[in-house]
Amino acid sequence: MAKKVGIVGAAVTPFKGRWYEKTYYELAQMATREAVKDAAISIKDVDAAFYSIYNDIFERTCIPEHPLHGIIGMQHKPGIRISCGGATGAYTISAAHAYLAGERFKIVLVLGVEKATDCFDFLSMSATPEVIKAIAWSGDSFFEQKLGWSASDSYAEVVLGYMDEHPGDLKPEVTAQISSQLSKQARTNPYAQRQFDQVTPEEVMNSRYIVYPFKELEICVYSEGAAALILAEEETAKAMAKNSGKPIVWITGLGEANEHSFAGKNQKDMSRIMSGHLASHRAYDMAGIEDPVKAIQVVELHDAFVHELEITLAEFGLVPLGRADSLIEEGIMLPGGRLLVSPSGGLIYCGHAVGASNIMSAWSARKELIERNLRTAMVHGTGSTVAQYMACQILEHE
**pLDDT tens series, the chain, 398 aa:** 678 999 999 999 999 999 999 999 999 999 999 999 999 999 999 999 999 999 898 898 899 999 999 999 999 999 999 999 999 999 999 999 999 999 999 999 999 999 988 887 788 788 888 888 888 777 777 777 777 778 888 899 999 999 999 999 999 999 999 999 999 999 999 999 999 999 999 999 999 999 999 999 999 998 999 999 999 999 999 999 999 999 999 999 999 999 987 766 667 888 999 999 999 999 999 999 999 999 999 999 999 999 999 999 999 999 999 999 999 999 999 999 999 999 999 999 999 999 999 999 999 999 999 999 999 999 999 988 777 899 999 999 98
CA dihedral sign, ordered 317, 319, 322, 325: negative
What integer pLDDT is reported at residue 191 of this predicted model?
98
Question: Residues 6 or more apart from 8 whose CB is under 8 A from it?
Answer: 39, 107, 230, 231, 232, 237, 240, 241, 244, 246, 248
Structural domains in the chain, CATH included, are 5-119+222-244 (3.40.47.10)
Residue 224: which H helix or E strand, with range?
strand 224-233
One-letter identity of residue 309: L
Among 193, 377, 186, which residue's Cα sits nearest to residue 296?
Answer: 377
Q: Mind listing the pLDDT tens digit for each residue in 224-253?
A: 999 999 999 999 999 999 999 999 999 999
Among 189, 191, 220, which residue's Cα sits nearest to residue 12?
Answer: 191
Among 318, 306, 321, 305, which residue's Cα sits nearest to residue 272?
Answer: 321
What integer pLDDT is reported at residue 1 of this predicted model?
64
3-state class of 246 per DSSP?
A: coil
Half-sphere exposure of 15 (CA within 13 A, CB side): 36
Q: Helices H, strands E: what count in the chain? A: 15, 12
Q: In whole angstroms, what is the distance from residue 186 CA to residue 345 CA?
A: 4
The number of angstroms, rounded, from the C-alpha of 82 to the middle of its chain's C-alpha atoms is 14
How many residues in total does the chain contain? 398
* Beta strand 298-300 pairing with 340-341: parallel
Angle between helices 306-315 and 274-287 (to 10 degrees): 50
One-letter identity of residue 167: P
Q: In whole angstroms, what is the distance from residue 52 CA to residue 89 CA?
A: 5
Q: Give the C-alpha distances (Å, rounded to integers) separating 252 from 3, 51, 60, 282.
A: 11, 22, 37, 11
What integer pLDDT is reported at residue 161 of this predicted model?
94
Q: In whole angstroms, what is the distance from residue 331 CA to residue 174 CA?
A: 11
Q: Give the C-alpha distances (Å, rounded to integers) separating 90 from 30, 84, 302, 380, 393.
A: 20, 9, 10, 6, 8
Q: Mind listing the pLDDT tens digit for each residue in 67-89?
A: 999 999 999 999 999 999 999 99
Q: In whole angstroms, what is the distance from residue 327 CA to residue 345 CA?
A: 16
What integer pLDDT is reported at residue 344 of this predicted model?
98
